[in-house]
Homo-oligomer: A and B are copies of this chain.
């Protein structure tokens, strides 16, 4: 089934201990769309400026991503500059030039109206809610947000959360949103705000999914923990969370049934796509990963987390 992602498409300048790059394709919707494109058809609603090149459009097209919903506005594309020190868990933002993104009003092309999986990447909560309300046929609504909206527009965010089936945020965002230090109690409070399920991203430690009582038709599943891959080099963590979301959502949209088992496997595929994303700068690795590599890495994720399934073991 097809996915529509609404969010940012950007140019990034990034510096990390592994080097630095300038003017590369970035933005949450970009990482999400490329990661999800390996699993299903993806459509994008975003805005870019008149500096957005055909080279960048080609990246989307080569992955079969439908960009008829990327609006071209007068002015410059959203630009972000960030740098990472040895502690790759935190980005230092050097500048954020919203440019045409500042007045972004998502417009859904008529051809996108039949989309069944909607993902609201990190944009202003009221815009997220408006998009959701325009898309009455969707079967599943996923959502991301950030500290800026949790602090700045809690009421608007609260309205959006009521419309959400899967919220994907990180540990710090759960604490900020719930006011709870404990992840389980925090998750319960967040679920009570509306989302039917919650995926808490733990960076290098993977992710945990929590389920409300209305997500699946059967009994409420226990929380589920998916690992992340221990990597000797993280070149650029930018977009890891969006790539996780794209892998997760892409796999889910490609399944015939929304079962707890499919959801769990989707979390593993999220981790797989996140682990590829950070291996090189920007979307470089996501642009050229092969399907066989994705399956190999999925098996590796199972191997590092499952008691059985270790083909490398010498028979005892």
- State the A residues within 8 Å of B (CB): 86-88, 181-185, 187-188, 202, 204-206, 208, 210, 216-219, 221-225, 227, 230-234, 257, 259-261, 264-265, 268, 300, 302-308, 310, 312-314, 316
Contact = CB atoms under 8 A, between A and B. Distances in A.
A56 to B, nearest CB: 31
A190 to B, nearest CB: 13
A313 B258 CA distance: 12
B300 A222 contact: yes
B306 A268 contact: no
Contact of A204 (B86, B183, B233, B304): B183
Contacts of A230: 183-184, 187, 208, 210, 223, 225
Contacts of A308: 261
Given A217-B314, A218-B313, A261-B313, A181 B87 contact: yes
B181 A222 contact: no
The 10 closest A-B pairs by CB, nearest first: A218-B314, A205-B205, A184-B232, A86-B181, A225-B227, A259-B316, A184-B230, A260-B313, A223-B230, A225-B304
A212 to B, nearest CB: 15
A225 B305 contact: yes
A184 to B, nearest CB: 4
A226 B189 CA distance: 27
Contacts of A219: 312-314
**Which residue, of A234, A257, A306, has the highest number of chain B Cβ atoms within 10 A?**
A306
Contacts of A304: 222-225
A302 B312 contact: no
Contacts of A264: 307, 310
**Which residue, of A87, A205, A216, A260, has the highest number of chain B Cβ atoms within 10 A?**
A205
Contacts of A234: 182
A184 B231 contact: yes
Given A88-B181, A233-B182, A307 B302 contact: yes
A187 B230 CA distance: 10
Nearest to A313: B260
A301 to B, nearest CB: 9
